[in-house]
Structure 1
Amino acid sequence: MESKEGKSLSELEEEIFEEFRDFMKGIAKIDQLGIAGSRLLSGFQQALEFTRRPPIDTNSKLVEKIIVANETKRVKAYINSGCRKLHESIQSVTNFHSCTRGLCNHISKAKEILDELEGLLGDVTSSIQTRNGKLLALSDRDFEVELNEQATYDDWEEKDALSHSQSPDVTSTKKKKITDVTHLAMVMTFIYSMVKQDYLMQEKIVSALDLKMSSEELETYCQMWSLRPFINDKIVHGAWEHIH
């Protein structure tokens, strides 16, 4: 395999764009996993709440009249069993274990994808460093890639908006081309950070699941999982616009 140093600038840029596309494919996969995980967590919640369903209030006069009017063996057996049908109880236990296993598998699969995303980010960083080294050999300008500052990203957005409002010249076109790949790298860094935090939240939620946890706590976990508080949809949607 040809080393990065032996590739031309155009080849390096194409490689970066290809790695960016692979990165976004990984983001799509992890998004789908998150949706499936949310359904599993809801299933866990339903199964747990079924076991906590209170029995019929036989002290109610209305309920008492209904029972007396329909005092069959089936109704008596239902009340004596705690108002739970046998097949429903069996199904609830099955769903409980199925959702628990599914959530553990979800965390494992999400971690695999996260590792792949980290690898792609590392490859892009390496490609840009090599590319910048080649550019420095051709110019006295320093095209340093700053990946870790949100302020840099915001500054780029402002400059990009300004460049669109002005008539382009040769210099601005070159600068924009240079910025394109560095911008992709910054976007990848931001998205990876967000997705990793979301994964860590999901991992903690799954680890905290317990039969003794309160209904309120479990409902909060379900809401936070669906909300994905660490994900900035605007940045993610903007990243998809770079996919050709």
Structure 2
Amino acid sequence: MESNKEARRIFSDFMTRIAKFEELATLGSGLLGSFRNQLELLQRNPLDKRSKLVGDIIKANETQRMKAYLKDRCLTVPAGVQIMTKLNMCQQGFRDHLDKAKSLLDELECLVDNMISTLKMANERETSNGCENHSGDELAEEDAELVHLKKHEAFDYAAMMGIIYNMLKQDYTMQEKIVSSLKLSSPLEQLDSYCKMWSLRPYINDDVMHQAWRLIR
């Protein structure tokens, strides 16, 4: 069936874009981790050496480890500028990420629509050919059964595409909400939760994804 070949081609294109979306999600996870790490450096508070007790302890224990710790905890102006530059780069990276992910989602939606149109045309063609009128002929019955099997396969593609598209749409919405909530004052505990959620991708069913990849092998 020509329509089945077209359905398989559409599904293959769909999965190609899925692979790109997955790659983007991984890159976005790394970007979020970088943002979290830079923000931790910015938010770190140095020891309050104005405290007499703290000052006395530092003077009495000027070891290399203590000196290194104090130097590391004191954020100099150049270091602060460097951190802010990296944070701004992360923010730009997030905007680029969301733009690319949204573009892929739009392409996936178009492919879903194309698959639906292909199935509709195939169904109309089958009806117009009147395959059911040849049920008395043994060869025609075999042809009709083959058509039914091919049609069922195409519907499997369409159903899988719909399920995956909805999962990715929810995944994108989660990423968008995380990015929109990022601030320089964001608590590190909150960022840790964001990183975990982005990495876990709770809306993505791995079993469904594996099944989809098996369909094109």
Report the counterpart of residue 210 of structure 2 in structure 1: 237
Q: Distance in 1 between matches of 2:182 and 2:131?
A: 57
Counterpart check, 1:112 vs 2:107: no
User: Match for residue 136 of structure 2?
Assistant: none
Q: Is the 8 A contact 1:40 1:102 kept in 2?
A: yes
Tell me if structure 1 keeps the 8 A contact 2:47–2:70: yes
Which residues of 2 match residues 114-129 of structure 1 at below 5 A?
114-129=105-120
Displacement, 1:92? 1.5
Equivalent position to 1:198, from 171, 174, 179: 171
Aligned-residue offset at 1:37: 0.5
Number of paired residues?
202
TM-score when normalising by structure 1: 0.74
**Higher helix proportion:** 2
Q: Work out which of the residue numbers 11, 15, 33 in structure 2 matches 1:24.
A: 15
> Is 2:47 aligned against 1:56?
yes
Between the aligned partners of 1:213 and 1:121, the Cα distance in structure 2 is 38
Q: Is 1:207 the counterpart of 2:180 in the alignment?
A: yes
Letter matched to residue 240 of structure 1: W
Measured in 2, the distance between the counterparts of 1:38 and 1:231 equals: 15
5 Å-filtered alignment, 1:82-161, equals 83-137=74-128, 138-140=130-132
Structure 1 residue 89, shift from structure 2 partner: 2.8
Greater relative contact order structure (CA < 8 Å, 6+ sep): 2
Which of 29, 34, 42 does residue 43 from structure 1 map onto? 34
CA, structure 1 residues 81+173, in 2 after alignment: closer, same or farther (shift >3 Å)? closer
Per-residue CA shift, 1:84-117, capped at 9, x if unaligned? 2555433322211111110111000000000000
Question: How far 1:62 moved relative to its partner?
Answer: 5.2
User: Given the two structures, how large is their TM-score scaled by the length of structure 2?
Assistant: 0.83
1:220 match: secondary structure? helix
Please list every run of at least 4 consecutive aligned residues from structure 1 whose deviation after the TM superposition is greater than 6 angstroms: none
What is the letter of the counterpart of residue 23 of structure 1?
F
Instruction: Give the share of equivalent positions with the same residue, in percent.
Output: 37
Equivalent pair of 1:57/1:63 in contact (CA under 8 Å): no
**C-alpha deviation, 1:82, in angstroms:** 5.8
Matches within 5 A, 1:163-182: 174-182=147-155
Query: What is the root-mean-square deviation of aligned Cα atoms in Å?
Result: 2.7
Q: CA deviation at 1:61?
A: 6.1
Per the alignment, residue 144 of structure 1 pairs with none
Shift of 1:19: 0.8
Q: Which residue of 1 aligns with 2:190?
A: 217
Q: Provide Cα deviations, 1:116-165, integer angstroms capped at 9, x if missing partner.
A: 00001100100001111122232459xxxxxxxxxxxxxxxxxxxxxxxx
- Runs (5+) with no aligned partner, structure 2: 134-141
Q: 1:94 to 1:174 in 2, by over 3 A?
A: same
Report the AA paired with residue 99 of structure 2: S
Kindly indicate whether the alpha-carbon contact (under 8 Å) linking 2:38 and 2:86 is maintained by their aligned counterparts in 1. Answer: yes
Q: Tell me the distance in 1 between the aligned counterparts of 2:98 and 2:91.
A: 11
